[in-house]
Amino acid sequence: MIKINKKSFEGYYKKSIKERQEILSKELLLTNEEQKLLEKESSLSFDIADRMIENVIGTFPLPLGLATNFVIDEKEYVIPFAIEEPSVIAAASNAAKLSNGFITENDEQIMIGQLQLINLENACESKKKILENKEKILKEVEKVDPILVKFGGGPRDLKVNILDTPRGKMIEVQLLVNVGDAMGANAINTMLEKITSVIEEISGGKHVARIISNLAIYRRTQSKTIWTKEKLEESVKGTMKGEEIIERILDLYEFAVATPFRCATHNKGIMNGIDSVVIATGNDFRAIEAGAHAYASYKGKYSPLTKYYKNSNGDLVGEIDIPLALGLVGGAIKVHPIAKLNAKILGLKKVQDLASVIASVGLAQNFAAMRAIATTGIQSGHMKLHAKNIAVQAGAIKEEIELVAQKMIELKEVNQLTAEKIIEEIRE
Ligand code: HMG
């Protein structure tokens, strides 16, 4: 077991990338091959990476694939996914192929900034005074970013809540701002810091937190589509009636409504697709995940982010309603060369186009998983695509990989042991 000597990493951030790699290599006794891996530059150069995060020693490439067949608001898309998991792209592409196309709606890009006040003599009195000065405060906010205001963004409202906490009464001031095509964290946090003294003077309170909220309930996107019983029946080559598939999907959906244990995986299935496109476009997937799951619990019970029902035709309607705090300006999308390329592949003009794509991908991903579970079971499709990975893990090389994968699928035994046996037979 290699023991790290933390002294060797003192002042690590002041070293060059090369020096950091050497220190790591010496401390961890890296092999030549491992050192070469670290030193190998990808499409994200070390120079750019070194400006994006701290203590850079290399980059961590992920597979980048395209989901196909998507028609969103009557526009055709191929959608870049950055993800390590097999079958996610196939599933999204299949769901899009089986759909009638996605129609979306977007809220304004309104983000919430929170300012926390403590040491209040009389919280009700303070709340009243802040609200009496709302217009004055919002005028102060406008001065912070006149360009944003010029392009239609800027402050929209100020809300004040009194919170009873074990540490006494607090006030939460919510500043609502249209942040334009940015995710908005920098703009909001700057605005909050600028108006703190004004609000402290008015309220007599003392600030603690001044920070954006990731529960972006005023910045949601809805997407909706129909999957017809005919297309569903075709998708399983007639082995199951379309009506029956729809009934089983509705049973599965209500199961997720009824228990958080299923609901967590239901929503994870949605985020499989959402995170892949969020990462591929250089956005903050932690912010998206936090906002999505917080919104899923917002009405008091952790619930599905999608909903399904039958229309008068007996076809399946799917809808998603989800907060999406995304940026087309300001974040890594302007710095990371592949994120820029992916934005070009999507032909993005404004951030709400990206939100429409991502919400539709989440709905498609969720439907695909439910369709698979409700019909053939998740493993048949998933393992069909995973078989190649298993073959490689078992030691298959070059053309053996396809042969071993095919043989395992025929045998319906996709596992390492079977793969090793098939490799032995092939080599004999
Ligand atoms: P299938 O019916 O065997 O597919 O399903 P197919 O061979 O008939 O092809 C249909 C379409 O799927 C194709 O159309 C492609 O669009 C796409 P075509 O181009 O032939 O006209 N497709 C592919 N795209 C790229 N590469 C491929 C490929 N194969 C098909 N190799 C399929 C196969 C995997 C699509 C299906 O079984 C499926 O959708 N499975 C669901 C898999 C899934 O959801 N994976 C996500 C990871 S599992 C998870 O973590 C989420 C979960 O836990 C969430 C939850 O519990 O709700 C399940």
Residue 211 is predicted with a pLDDT of: 98
Instruction: Give per-residue pLDDT as tens, 268-284.
Output: 999 999 999 999 999 99
Going by C-alpha positions, the residue among 257, 116, 109, 256 that lies closest to residue 200 is 116
Catalytic residue among 336, 382, 388, 407: 382
Ligand 1 within 6 A of CB of 405: no
Residue 221 banded pLDDT, cuts 50, 70, 90:
very high
Does the pLDDT value for residue 381 go beyond 80? no
Per-residue pLDDT for 253 more than 90?
Answer: yes
Task: State the span(s) of the chain assigned CATH 3.90.770.10.
Answer: 85-106+220-377
Compute the mean pLDDT over every residue in the chain, rounded to the nearest whole number: 96
**In this structure, which residue's CA is closest to atom 5 in ligand 1?**
381
H or E stretch covering 243: helix 242-258
Cβ contacts of 271 within 8 Å, gap of 6 or more: 288, 289, 292, 362
Q: Indicate the top mutation candidate among 84, 87, 94 to test ligand 1's pocket, ranked by most ligand atoms within 8 A of CB.
A: 94
| pLDDT > 90? residue 299 | yes
Higher pLDDT, 246 or 410: 246
Task: Kindly give the distance from the C-alpha atom of residue 395 to the centroid of ligand 1, in angstroms, as a whole number.
Answer: 26
The CATH code of the domain at 110-212 is: 3.30.70.420
Read off the pLDDT band of 2 (50, 70, 90). confident
CA of 65 to the centre of ligand 1 (A): 14
Token pair 């003294």 is found at: 197
How far apart (Å, rounded) are the C-alpha atoms in residues 165 and 203? Answer: 18
Nearest CA owner, ligand 1 atom 15: 94
Q: Is the CB of 69 under 6 A from ligand 1?
A: yes
- Using pLDDT thresholds of 50, 70 and 90, give the confidence band for residue 378: confident
383: pLDDT confidence band, cut at 50, 70 and 90? Answer: confident
The long-range contacts involving 400-408, CB below 8 angstroms and separated by at least 24 positions, are: 400/426
Overall CATH class of domain 85-106+220-377? alpha beta
The secondary structure of residue 214, as a DSSP letter, is S
**Is any ligand 1 atom within 6 A of the Cβ of residue 369?**
yes
pTM for the whole structure: 0.94
In this prediction, residue 358 carries a pLDDT of 99
Q: How far is the CA of 280 from the centre of ligand 1 (A)?
A: 20
CB 212 within 8 A of CB 111: yes
386 pLDDT above the threshold of 90: no
pLDDT at residue 100 is higher than 90 = yes
Helices 260-280 and 351-374 pack at an angle, to 10 degrees, of 140
Cα dihedral across residues 116, 117, 122, 124: positive or negative = negative
Is the distance from the beta carbon of residue 372 to the nearest atom of ligand 1 less than 6 Å?
yes
Q: Are 95 and 235 in contact (CB under 8 A)?
A: no
37-93 pLDDT, tens digit per residue, is 999 999 999 999 999 999 999 999 999 999 999 999 999 999 999 999 999 999 999
382 catalytically annotated: yes
Tell me the average pLDDT across 371-385. 85
Q: 309: pLDDT confidence band, cut at 50, 70 and 90?
A: very high
Q: Which of 303, 339, 338 is nearest to 321 (CA)?
A: 303
* Number of CB atoms found within 10 A of residue 329's CB: 12
Which regions of the chain carry the CATH code 1.10.8.660?
381-427
Q: Which residue has the higher pLDDT, 386 or 209?
A: 209
Q: Which ligand 1 atom minimizes the distance to the CA of 376? A: 37
CATH architecture for residues 381-427: Orthogonal Bundle (1.10)
> What residues does CATH 3.30.70.420 cover in the chain?
110-212
pLDDT exceeds cutoff 80 at 380: no
Is 134 noted as a catalytic residue in this protein? no
- Residue 234 catalytic? no
Residue 364 CA to residue 38 CA, distance in Å, equals: 37
> Is 267 near ligand 1, meaning CB less than 6 Å away?
no
Ligand 1 midpoint to CA 141 (Å): 48
Are the C-beta atoms of 78 and 70 separated by less than 8 Å? yes
> Per residue in 121-160, pLDDT tens?
999 999 999 999 999 999 999 999 999 999 999 999 999 9
- Measured distance CA(194)–CA(174) in Å, rounded: 14
Q: Considering just the CA atoms, what is the radius of gyration of the chain in Å?
A: 26
pLDDT single digits (tens) 188-205: 999 999 999 999 999 999
85 in catalytic set: yes
The token duo for 357 is 């794509």
Give pLDDT, residue 152.
94
Answer yes or no: is the C-beta of 385 below 6 A from any ligand 1 atom: yes
Catalytic residue among 22, 27, 85, 172: 85
pLDDT for residue 377: 85
Integer Cα distance of 155 and 80 in angstroms: 33
